Amino acid sequence: MRTDSLKGKDFLSIGDFNREEIETIIDVALDLKRRFAVREPHRLLPDMTLFMIFYGMSLRTRNSFEAGMTQLGGHAHYLSPGEIYTPALDDEVREYRTESVADVARVLSRMGHGIAIRCFGKAVDWVYGAGQEVLDGFAKWSDIPVINMESDVYHPCQGMADILTMKEKLGELEGKKFVMSWAYSPRSQKPLSVAHSALLVTSLMGMDITLAYPEGFDLDPKIMAKVQANVERQGGTLEIAHDMSEAVRGADVVYAKNWTCRHFFPPETDAPQPEEAQKLFEANRHWICDEDKMNLANRKAFYMHCLP
């Protein structure tokens, strides 16, 4: 497949890529995974530096990026906003505490070869979309590719890891039933990004999708419109369900993931209302994916989650 269109491109959302480009990335990832397994050197990024900016804590994402850069012959440089002037958009700049995203992006562009950023939640006062605005700001001013390590809207690298896993386990994905289901968590402040990216990539690959959640936990309508457009182009299906048991019947993959109720957070409210969100969570404690639920799926169905 041709890869000219990928050179130098930011990786902010799976929605920025077509199916052929996503399949190319999957093919390359599978080849690199094979090389790593047989200890075959694959130093494709010798002496290159990736700057990583985490506005919050991370275990899996930080270490997978650092290990990946090492395996490819490069170096991942960790930058903590608490140890540097925190990169901020122009209207959030505070003297001696922050530095404009425009300046940070241009400075790092002259020293390295890529900038990877994670920004959502507490770092942006739980304003939905504000984390993505930070990444978009970096992409605007950076002369080197910007990679989204998770915002409040998208988690494209997680989505790619998920679709690669499904490809390994199921082979051809067209026509396979994928269920993305909300599941209870004791903590209500969770981003929508994993669900958004999973739906974007599975719809792009022509899968039959069922999105299941209790009333009140609907996802971003702009993202769902993109998912529907993918379904119409790629030949899959999209159904919405409010009963987990019915949703998982006949599923090939069941992906359980918690996300917050965006109606209790800005910009839909003037201020975050986590207590009200928690009440809705507690009313849906029965939304869990257990053995009984999985017995309703296909006999060889796979259960997936973004954490181990």
User: In angstroms, rounded to a whole number, what is the distance separating the alpha carbons of residues 287 and 193?
Assistant: 20
User: In angstroms, rounded to a whole number, what is the distance separating the alpha carbons of residues 87 and 44?
Assistant: 30
pTM, entire model: 0.96
Of 27-41, 84-98, 175-189, 241-255, which gets the smallest average pLDDT? 84-98
3-state secondary structure of 285: coil
- Just give the CATH number of 156-304: 3.40.50.1370
User: In angstroms, rounded to a whole number, what is the distance separating the alpha carbons of residues 289 and 306?
Assistant: 14
User: In angstroms, rounded to a whole number, what is the distance separating the alpha carbons of residues 226 and 241?
Assistant: 19
| pLDDT tens per residue, range 59-104 | 999 999 999 999 999 999 999 888 888 888 877 878 767 899 999 9
The angle subtended at Cα 190 by Cα 188 and Cα 191, nearest 5°, is: 145
Task: Identify whether the C-beta of residue 253 lies closer than 8 Å to the C-beta of residue 166.
Answer: yes
User: Whose structure tokens read 């950023």?
Assistant: 117
Picking from 17, 43, 40, the residue whose alpha carbon sits closest to that of residue 157 is 17
pLDDT at 129: 97
Task: Identify whether the C-beta of residue 116 lies closer than 8 Å to the C-beta of residue 63.
Answer: no
Exposure on the CB side of residue 19, measured as CA atoms within 13 A: 15
Q: What is the mean pLDDT of residues 151-180?
A: 98
- How far from 272 is each of 96, 188, 195, 262, 278, CA to CA, in Å? 27, 11, 21, 9, 12
Cα pseudo-dihedral 6, 9, 12, 18, rounded to 10: -30
The token pair at 4 is: 């000219």
Q: What is the mean pLDDT of residues 106-115?
A: 98
**pLDDT-derived band at 2, boundaries 50, 70, 90:** low
Mean pLDDT of the residues in the chain: 96
Topology agreement, domain 43-151 and domain 156-304: yes
| pLDDT tens per residue, range 283-307 | 999 999 999 999 999 999 999 999 8
Q: What is the mean pLDDT of residues 5-13?
A: 95
| Share above pLDDT 70 across residues of the chain, in percent, rounded to a whole number | 99
pLDDT at 89: 85
What kind of fold does domain 43-151 have according to CATH?
A: Rossmann fold (3.40.50)
pLDDT at 157: 98
pLDDT at 307: 87
Structure-model confidence comparison of residues 270 and 307, the more confident one? 270
Domain coordinates of the chain in residue numbers? Answer: 43-151, 156-304
